[in-house]
Structure 1
Amino acid sequence: MDLITVEDIHAAAERIKGTAVRTPLLPCTWTETDRPLWLKPENLQPIGAFKIRGAANAMARIPAADRARGVVAYSSGNHAQAVAYVARQFGLPAAIVVPENTPVTKIEATRAHGAEVVVVPITDREIVAERLVAERGATLIPPFDHPDVIAGQGTIGLEIAADLPDVELVLVPVSGGGLLSGVATAIKALCPDAAVVGVEPELAADTAASLAAGRRVEWSTHDRARTIADGLRAAPSELTFAHLRERVDAVVTVTEEEIRSTVATLATRARLVAEPSGAVTTAAYLHRAADLPRGRTVAVVSGGNLDRDLLVTLLS
């Protein structure tokens, strides 16, 4: 299976200029001095999450003759918003299929970007998306299982390498694996001495189980849906798992309570609003130190889209 290269990621970076924001690295002065931490705040993207990068790169690659038929995506929320936002920028019609447990905030935001939203049972989103593609002749923009999407997400790694070339550890949330695959590809090419570690919830720890077994281990959709980190409920594909086996050093897990408390920590100490999925990397830094290499660390805060009521609850 062909893996993406750092050259693919450099090309993606050129394509997404003007659509995705080049987010900064934020130093955290409230952490251990011998384990300095920087946050990569992808919650500052126009749609509040990193997904805009992969969506923009994939849509920029659609042939001109196919664009009028539009795009279709399936997503639990952030990819939905990204595709809707980028499609509007490109002047393309977009239909987004979301599971019925998607936070209302993310559904409303997707509609606000002008996309058609189709709400379906949690197990049906891919089936319905494929049907819409067949009916409309549209282009499918998957949330992670595509080289162009992976390369777009990998631009985060390019920016980390440019801003902190002596980074020693990069922590990345993992769900379907597109973000971790792309960032690991960039970091291993540009900062080969740095470790790249994925982070996922204990209640959706299929990636950790898969890497330990040397093959993809299936967890049921309903089991993965137990975690509060709604953006981390997908499972790696054959394509992303191939990248993870080749380029990721380890995957660690965090508990629901650690995720919840870290959302509050990021809000009060770092002044960042992070959704639970975006908080898992900082949770690992704070609560899984014994399982991680020491040294200059970057934690990717993948997004900040969460319901206001949930944020109030987590801060109380």
Structure 2
Amino acid sequence: MTSAPFAITLADIAAAARRIEGHVLRTPLVPAPRLSELTGATILVKHENMQATASFKERGAVNKLLSLDEAEKARGVIAMSAGNHAQAVAYHAHRFGIPATIVMPETTPLVKVENTRAHGARVVLYGETLYESAQKARELAEAEALVFVHPYDDAAVMAGQGTVASEMLADAPDLEMLVIPLGGGGLMAGNAIAAKAIKPEIELIGVEAALYPSFYNAVNDKDLFIGGATLAEGIAVKTVGQQTLPIVASLVSDIVLIGEDLIERAVNAYASLQHTLAEGAGAIGLAAIFKEPERYKGRKVGLLLSGGNIDTRLLAAIMVRELEREDRICAFRLTASDRPGLLGKVASLLGEHGANILEVSHGRLFLDVPAKGVTLDVTVETRGEAHTRSIEAALKNDGYAPRRILPRGLAEQDR
């Protein structure tokens, strides 16, 4: 059993579960056979993206709001958040008749800003990071006598988040590992207390974006640079919680850092294989398994899909980028004599080899092309790497001197 000096106990989490019942969804823990087949682990996914505001943050927000006295509720609350905490506080504050002000970084995705406003909250955009937003929120809290609802460094919020693991282990007591996104630590701290109290032998893995190794630095006494544009903006936190740090340091087996390419791959895998939406922070646990599949192979792993608030245009871009990485979308630059019927011949050749043409552009003014020549940039959809290679070979055999154009726009040298 876990005990003080930690900020919360299993009893606090049990009380939170009773308090939030009926206000948040008891989300399903769903087997993920295609993800399991892909990774070699037996994966079950806790779908917190099914909450009303599409993230686990509702649990902590509801527990905190319902713990306020009547005078505090009348004055109102203020929170700082990159999005999901903001929406959760705004949504449930509106339900409970509590005035809410949310301070968000200016870099917050538009979908999260607009969703927060739609829930009736006053939104203040300030700063580039959560740290700057937090400073502004505290200034407003003091000036306007508002109750500050911290997104992670608050005992009531942590206890609410801990109800996730208690539900997971109630549904699947034989889980061997929990892989949990790690930002400021409220989600991990609450769930670490719950999981270790219920099943002491369970292994807990915290996952951070490589650009924001805040807990990794704090726990391992490192000084890795923190900052940059990450797809996992929901856990892009520079300063860890004072109450969450001792819990994470004591109970979490390891903290792993994940690059942006693997986060993109995980978002795409959730969409294409699990048929569900995951934002970057929500998908990062799956990305950790992609990074080290041998670590999880043969084990029963619980993944927490913590949120699904992703801009649809960004999701579309990620899925196209994954097709490019898999060689299922590729571009060739062809060079030939500028003569009538050229485009038709190239199109016929590509059609004969089963390529679907997505885009074509001509170039006649490049200085590395003869005056009577032309370049033709053709983007096609294929069945994969082997199919792409066969199409490239066919173009070469017909004298078009194909060069692959990389996604970043630079042509490779002739092979």
TM-score range, shorter chain: over 0.9
Q: Does 1:79 align with 2:85?
A: yes
Percentage of identical aligned residues: 38
Aligned residue pair count: 311
Residue in 1 aligned with 2:104?
Answer: 98
Residue in 1 aligned with 2:397?
Answer: none
Q: Does 1:162 align with 2:170?
A: yes
TM-score when scaled to structure 2?
Answer: 0.72
Q: 2:115 aligns with which of 89, 106, 109?
A: 109
| CA apart distance, 1:203 | 1.3
Structure 1: distance between partners of 2:148 and 2:242: 18
Q: Does 1:176 align with 2:184?
A: yes
Q: What is the DSSP-based 3-state SS (H/G/I as helix, E as strand, rest coil) of the residue aligned with 2:211?
A: helix
Q: Which moved more, 1:168-177 or 1:189-198?
A: 189-198
Query: Aligned AA for 1:93?
Result: P
| CA apart distance, 1:153 | 0.4
Query: Aligned AA for 2:235?
Result: L
Structure 2: distance between partners of 1:175 and 1:294: 28
Q: What is the DSSP-based 3-state SS (H/G/I as helix, E as strand, rest coil) of the residue aligned with 2:215?
A: helix
| CA apart distance, 1:292 | 4.7
Residue in 2 aligned with 1:232?
Answer: 235
Q: 1:140 aligns with which of 126, 145, 148?
A: 148
Hey, which of these two has a bigger chunk of helix by percent?
A: 1
Residue in 2 aligned with 1:295?
Answer: 299
Residue in 1 aligned with 2:379?
Answer: none
Structure 2: distance between partners of 1:167 and 1:224: 34
Residue in 2 aligned with 1:125?
Answer: 133
Q: Does 1:43 align with 2:49?
A: yes
| CA apart distance, 1:225 | 3.7
Query: Aligned AA for 1:276?
Result: G
Q: Does 1:208 align with 2:211?
A: no
Compared CA separation, residues 111 and 242, structure 1 to 2 (3 A): same
Q: Which moved more, 1:112-121 or 1:203-212?
A: 203-212
Structure 1: distance between partners of 2:22 and 2:271: 28
| CA apart distance, 1:2 | 3.6
Q: 1:247 aligns with which of 242, 248, 251?
A: 251
Residue in 1 aligned with 2:314?
Answer: 310
Compared CA separation, residues 218 and 79, structure 1 to 2 (3 A): farther
Structure 2: distance between partners of 1:19 and 1:311: 29
TM-score when scaled to structure 1?
Answer: 0.94
Structure 1: distance between partners of 2:100 and 2:223: 30
Structure 2: distance between partners of 1:34 and 1:101: 37
| CA apart distance, 1:8 | 0.4
Structure 2: distance between partners of 1:150 and 1:219: 27
Query: Aligned AA for 1:228?
Result: L
Residue in 1 aligned with 2:161?
Answer: 153
Structure 1: distance between partners of 2:223 and 2:172: 36
Structure 1: distance between partners of 2:173 and 2:92: 30
Query: Aligned AA for 2:196?
Result: K
Structure 1: distance between partners of 2:153 and 2:117: 24
Compared CA separation, residues 5 and 21, structure 1 to 2 (3 A): same
What whole-Å deviation, never above 9, does each CA across 1:64-114 have from its counterpart, x for those lacking one? 122111100000111000100110111000000001000000000000000
RMSD value, Cα? 1.6
Residue in 1 aligned with 2:72?
Answer: 66
Q: Which moved more, 1:63-72 or 1:123-132?
A: 123-132
What whole-Å deviation, never above 9, does each CA across 1:28-49 have from its counterpart, x for those lacking one? 1112496200001111110011
Q: Does 1:189 align with 2:197?
A: yes
Contact 1:169 1:293 in 2 (8 A): no
Higher relative contact order, structure no. (Cα contacts within 8 Å, ≥ 6 residues apart):
1
Note the residue ranges of structure 2 that are not aligned, 5 or more in a row.
321-415
Contact 2:86 2:116 in 1 (8 A): yes
Structure 2: distance between partners of 1:129 and 1:188: 34
Query: Aligned AA for 2:8?
Result: I
Structure 1: distance between partners of 2:246 and 2:117: 34
Contact 1:169 1:294 in 2 (8 A): no
Note the residue ranges of structure 1 that are not aligned, 5 or more in a row.
none
